Structure 1
Amino acid sequence: MENNEVEHTDDEDSSASYHDLSDHEEDESTDLSGDELEINNPEDIQIGLPEQYNPQDQDLVGDHLYLGAMEEVRGRILLDEDSIIEMPVVVQEGLICVPGQTLPLTISHPHIMAMMRRVIEGNHIFGILSFRPFEPHINNAKYKIGATAEIYEYGEEVEGLESGFGFRIKARIRQRIKVIQARRQIDGITIARVQILPELEVSDSLYQCRSYSLDKHRLSTATSSDISVASLLSKKRIYDKQYKIPFSVWPSWIHRSYDLQFIAQRVMLELSTSIFVGSSAFADVGSGSIVPRNPVDLSYWVIQNLPLDDELRLELLSINNPNQRLRAELSILQRCESLCCRECDYAIARQTDVFAMSKIGPQGVYVNPFGHVHETITVHRVDGLSVTTPPSTEFSWFPGYAWSIVNCSYCRSHIGWLFTANDRHLQPASFWGLSRQSLKPRLKVNDESEFIAVM
C-alpha cells in the first residue's frame, strides 16, 4: 500500500457522512472509588468480533499474508528482567512498539539486511526504537523507552514486485527496554546498551493485617493470575475482603483500587461498553475473544489498541507497575469519546465505531512495500473524509479487500484508507482504516461535555 503521496484535485468525491457525532448517547462512567460497582462474573462481559464477520479472514489478516511466502525461525528467548545487555537496534520513527504486538518490516538497506541475517543466525532478538539515540535533546527518561523484537519469520526478495522491495521479516514485540548508551559501528549499525525493564506487581495490601484463621479462603497468586480463573472464585474473594477490611484503617474502596484483578475487571467492563459496542453477536470470553485474560497482557493490549498520542503512549510504557498502568488506562477509557484529525481537530469517529478486523485487535501494525510502517485502527463509520484514489488490490493488508487513500475533507491531510470488499459475500462490505499518526483522542474533562484533545 502506498503512502499519502497523492495529488489532490478539486473534484474529489467526498465520502458520505455516516452519522452525526452529536447524536450518540453519552456513556456514564463509574468512579473508581465508589462502592456501588460489583463485578462478580466478568465472564459475562462479552468482547469480540462484529456481526457477520468471517473468523478465517480474521486469522489471515493477523498473519500478514501480503508479505508473501516466508521461512519460519524456531525458538523463543526471554531476557532476564533488570538485566543489562547489548543488542543491535533499529530506529522506526513514528512507531512505538508495545509487548504483544506483531511487527512486519520490509527492508531495502543492505547493511540493515545484513544485520537482520546475523540476528536470525543468533538469538533472533533486536531492539526497536522510535527515537535516534544519538540526538542530544533527548534527556527525559521516557523518551529512551524501546522494546525487544524477536524474529519468527523472514523472507528474501519477492518476484514480481519492485527491485527495491527486498528482505521481509515478521517479529513479535516481547519486552520493554530502556536505552542506557548507544554507539554506531563503522558499518552503520547501531548497538545499544539497554536495560530490560521489569514488571513490578504490588503485593496484597491486606496481607499483613489478615486473620490467619481465614487463610483457607484466600486466593493464591497461582490461581489469581488469570482474570477468568479468578472470577470463578469471586465469592471467596468477596468473603475474604469482608473479613479482612475491619483490621485495616483504610476503607474498602482504597484496597480495591490497588487490587490488580479488580482493576483488570474494571478495564474489561469499560472496553465492553466503549470500544466494542454495536454488535449483539460477540464471541464468548475465553473462546473467540481477542482480549487477553492476564492483567499484565491486558495492560499492554489496551495501549496497543487505543489511538494514543506518542507522548501519552510512552508515559504508559514507562510505568513498571501493571496496576498503575491499568488505572491510567481506565481513566483514559472512561473519558475518551471521539477520534479527531490531528491537524484540524475535526471529529472523525467515536470510540463506539471501532471494531476488530484482525485477531490481534482493532489496531494493528502494517507495512507497505517501501518500508513505511502504519498503525491502523479499523472503524465502521466516519465523518468528514474524502476518497482521493481509485480502489487497488495491490499489496492489500486485508485479504479480499481493495484500498483507496482517504484525506480529511477540511484540512486535506492524509487520514487513512477505505477498504471495500471485492467479493459480495465478504462482511463487512466496507470499512475504514485510520492511521494512528493522523489521529488524536478527545477526552471529556467535566460533566458539561467540554472536551480537551490529547496533545
Structure 2
Amino acid sequence: MDYDRILAREQRQMEEIRQLDLEELQVEEVDDDSSGDDRDATGRRTSDDYAFDTCLASLHTYLGEVEDTHHRVAFLDGGAVLKLPIFYLEGVVLFPEATLPLRVIQPNFVLSVERALTQVDAPYTIGVIRVFRDPDNGRIRFANVGTTAEIRQYRRLEDGSLNVVTRGQQRFRLRRRWIDVEGAPCGEVQIIQEDIPLRAPRDAFGDLAPFSNPRGHNFSVKLPLNDSRAESNGSMDVDNDAETNSDESFESALSLTEREVHQSAIGSYSGSDTMEESTTSSSDDEKSHLQLQSKDSDSSDSLHSCPEISNADLVSSSMSDMQSCKQKEPNKCWRNTDLNQFRRVPRAFWPHWVYRMYDSYCLAQRAADMWKDIVGAPSMDHLVKKPDLLSFYIASKIPVSESTRQELLEIDGISYRLRREIELLQSFDLIRCKTCQTIIARRSNMLVMSSEGPLGAYVNPGGHVHEIMTFYKANGLALIGPPRSEYSWFPGYAWTITNCAGCETHMGWLFTATKKNLKPKYFWGIRSSQVSDDLH
C-alpha cells in the first residue's frame, strides 16, 4: 500500500470519527500557526486548556479494583545477593520509584507472583529485566541490569489471571537466570550499591588560592629579594597568556555538552567569586610586595592576614609583616580591605567550576530547570535536594527510546547519570519511527496527560506492557479501525490504533474525548519501543 493511499484512508477515517458523534467525538484540526491557540512560549498548552484529571492515568483504573498488600518492602543492602522471581518484559525499562502495572496471564508468571508474595528473603518483590531483539540477527537478548519491583496492589480474577500494580525499588545486576522445575523464571541478582550524591569537595581545597582565574585577571606575584625562596627559585610571575592557554587546552579536551556546562559554571563562578576593588586609592610608597606563606602554614591564617588585594596584584603576607604594619599605621593598614573577599577566594587546586561539573546538587538544579522549561509539569523542585531520586525520575520519564533509557539505568554514578540526562534534554528534538526514520513528532509537541510525567507504562488486556509518550500533535500516522472506549488507559477517552504511514509499523494510538467538555479533544500516544535512537 503506497503512501498516498494510506493518507487517503487516514482522512476518510478521521471523517468517520466526526460523523459518529459531532458532540462527543470531535477531532480538531491542528494548524502549524499556534498564534490563536492557548500555549506558552515553549509550545505547550496552558493549564487553562485542560479539563482532564491527570491523576486518573497514574491510578490505572482500567485494571478494576485491586487490593492493597499493606506491605512496604525494606531496602536491601548494596551488594546483597539473593534469588528472585524474574519478569522479562519487552519494550519496558523500569526505574526505581516508577510505577509498573502488570496483567499476568501466563501460568509461569502467575506462579512467579505467587512465590513473590510468600518468599522469605524479599517478600512481595520481583525482578524486572528488559528483553529485546538483536537488530543484527534477531535473537532475544537479556539486559544485565534490572530493577526490583515491589508488589503494592493485586487482584486475582476468575480465570486465574492477576492484575498487579508494582513500584520500582532498587537496581540490580543479573548474575545468572534459569527456569525452575515448575516453569517459573528465576534469577540470582546482586543489589547495586548506589553512591552518595557528590558536593564540591571542601577537603580537596589547598592551602593557597590557585593562580588560574576564569575572569582572566593578570595576577602577578613577586617575591622580595631577601626571601630565601626567591633566591633559589627566582621571581614568580604568573602570566595571563599561560593561564589562557591552559584554559583553552582544557576546553579543547571537553565534549560539546561538557564545554557548555564548563562555560555555564564559569559564569556562575565569576559572579560569586569576584574580588572587589579598593574604594580608596593608596600612594605607591604605601604598597609593598609581601612574602608568600609557606605551604605548611595554616590556610586560614594566610587568607585572613593579608592587608590588601587589588586587581593588579595578588599578594600574601607573613605574620611578621602584618605585625609591623599594625604597629606603624593600624587604621590605614586595613582601611582599603574587604575581609569577605578573602573568604570568596577559591582555595582548591582546581578552579571551582571544575568541581561544579561533578557536583550532584548543582547538576540536579540544572536538570530540574531544563525539565521545567522543556516539559513543564510536573514540577521537580522537591527532588532537587535528592539528586539520586531526581536522576531516576528524569530517566524514567524522559521521552526517548527504550535503549537510551536502558543506557541511563546502567549508569552507576549519580553525577554521570545527571550529566547524560542534561545532554539528552539539550539534544533531543525530533521523534522518529525506529523502522523507517519518518518524523512523527517534535519535542515541542509533548503533552503531559499523567501526573507522573510525559511517559508512562500501561498494560493491555493481553498482558503486553507499553511505555508511551504523549503528544498533542503527530504526523505521518494512519488510523486503523474505529475508536473504542473499553479498557481505556485515560478515562473519558476512546482509543484508535495508529500505524506509521511509511512502514505500517504499530506506532501507538490516537485518544479522542468522548465528552464535549473534556479537554484536550484528542492526543497521541507513541510507543517508546518504536522510537528511533536518533534524537536530532
Q: Secondary structure at the match of 2:483?
A: coil
Deviation of 1:109 (Å): 1.9
Deviation of 1:91 (Å): 1.0
Using a 3 Å threshold, how does the CA distance of structure 1 residues 407 and 11 change in structure 2: closer, same or farther? same
Cα distance between partner residues in 2 of 1:242 and 1:433: 56
TM-score of the superposition, structure 1-length normalised? 0.73
Q: Secondary structure at the match of 2:9?
A: coil
Deviation of 1:403 (Å): 0.4
Deviation of 1:201 (Å): 2.7
Cα distance between partner residues in 2 of 1:242 and 1:262: 23
Using a 3 Å threshold, how does the CA distance of structure 1 residues 242 and 114 change in structure 2: closer, same or farther? farther
2:414 equivalent among 297, 306, 322? 322
- AA matched with 1:272: K
**Which residue matches 2:166?**
171
**Which residue matches 1:269?**
369
Report if aligned partners of 1:403, 1:417 keep a CA contact under 8 Å in 2. Answer: yes
**Which residue matches 1:145?**
145
- AA matched with 1:71: E
Using a 3 Å threshold, how does the CA distance of structure 1 residues 347 and 422 change in structure 2: closer, same or farther? same
- AA matched with 1:182: R
Q: Secondary structure at the match of 1:395?
A: coil
Cα distance between partner residues in 2 of 1:52 and 1:285: 22
Report if aligned partners of 1:307, 1:440 keep a CA contact under 8 Å in 2. Answer: no
Cα distance between partner residues in 1 of 2:434 and 2:142: 22
Report if aligned partners of 1:48, 1:283 keep a CA contact under 8 Å in 2. Answer: no
Using a 3 Å threshold, how does the CA distance of structure 1 residues 177 and 400 change in structure 2: closer, same or farther? same
Report if aligned partners of 1:128, 1:148 keep a CA contact under 8 Å in 2. Answer: yes
Using a 3 Å threshold, how does the CA distance of structure 1 residues 368 and 241 change in structure 2: closer, same or farther? farther
Instruction: Kindly indicate whether residue 523 of structure 2 is the aligned counterpart of residue 411 of structure 1.
Output: no
- AA matched with 1:436: S
Using a 3 Å threshold, how does the CA distance of structure 1 residues 186 and 331 change in structure 2: closer, same or farther? same
Cα distance between partner residues in 2 of 1:54 and 1:175: 36
Report if aligned partners of 2:84, 2:116 keep a CA contact under 8 Å in 1. Answer: no
Cα distance between partner residues in 2 of 1:273 and 1:398: 25
- AA matched with 1:306: I
- AA matched with 1:252: H
Instruction: Kindly indicate whether residue 513 of structure 2 is the aligned counterpart of residue 421 of structure 1.
Output: yes
1:357 equivalent among 444, 449, 459? 449
Report if aligned partners of 1:100, 1:172 keep a CA contact under 8 Å in 2. Answer: yes
**Which residue matches 1:53?**
50
Cα distance between partner residues in 1 of 2:8 and 2:474: 20
Cα distance between partner residues in 2 of 1:19 and 1:181: 53
Deviation of 1:258 (Å): 1.2
- AA matched with 2:55: D
Instruction: Kindly indicate whether residue 79 of structure 2 is the aligned counterpart of residue 79 of structure 1.
Output: no
Normalized per residue, the structure richer in helix is: 2
Deviation of 1:18 (Å): 3.8
- AA matched with 2:96: P
Cα distance between partner residues in 2 of 1:188 and 1:396: 32
Instruction: Kindly indicate whether residue 110 of structure 2 is the aligned counterpart of residue 113 of structure 1.
Output: yes
**Which residue matches 2:296?**
none
Paired residues in the alignment total 371
**Which residue matches 1:249?**
349
Structure 1 gap segments, 5+ residues each: 1-7, 24-46, 213-233, 277-281, 444-450
- AA matched with 2:126: F
Query: Over residues 402-455 of structure 1, what are the superposed CA-to-partner deviations in whole Å (9 max), with x where a residue is unaligned?
Result: 000111222221111111111112111111111111112543xxxxxxx4xxxx
Using a 3 Å threshold, how does the CA distance of structure 1 residues 246 and 292 change in structure 2: closer, same or farther? closer
Cα distance between partner residues in 1 of 2:101 and 2:201: 45
Cα distance between partner residues in 2 of 1:48 and 1:125: 39
Cα distance between partner residues in 1 of 2:111 and 2:342: 61
Structure 2 gap segments, 5+ residues each: 15-27, 36-43, 208-267, 274-339
Deviation of 1:202 (Å): 5.4
Query: Over residues 189-227 of structure 1, what are the superposed CA-to-partner deviations in whole Å (9 max), with x where a residue is unaligned?
Result: 122111111221354343114599xxxxxxxxxxxxxxx
**Which residue matches 2:175?**
180
Q: Residues 271-290 of structure 1: matches in 2 within 5 Å? A: 271-276=371-376
Percent identity, aligned pairs only, is 31
Using a 3 Å threshold, how does the CA distance of structure 1 residues 328 and 17 change in structure 2: closer, same or farther? farther
- AA matched with 1:154: Y
Deviation of 1:243 (Å): 3.9
Q: Residues 24-423 of structure 1: matches in 2 within 5 Å? A: 50-54=47-51, 57-77=53-73, 78-122=75-119, 123-131=123-131, 143-157=143-157, 166-201=161-196, 203-210=198-205, 243=343, 246-276=346-376, 294-423=386-515
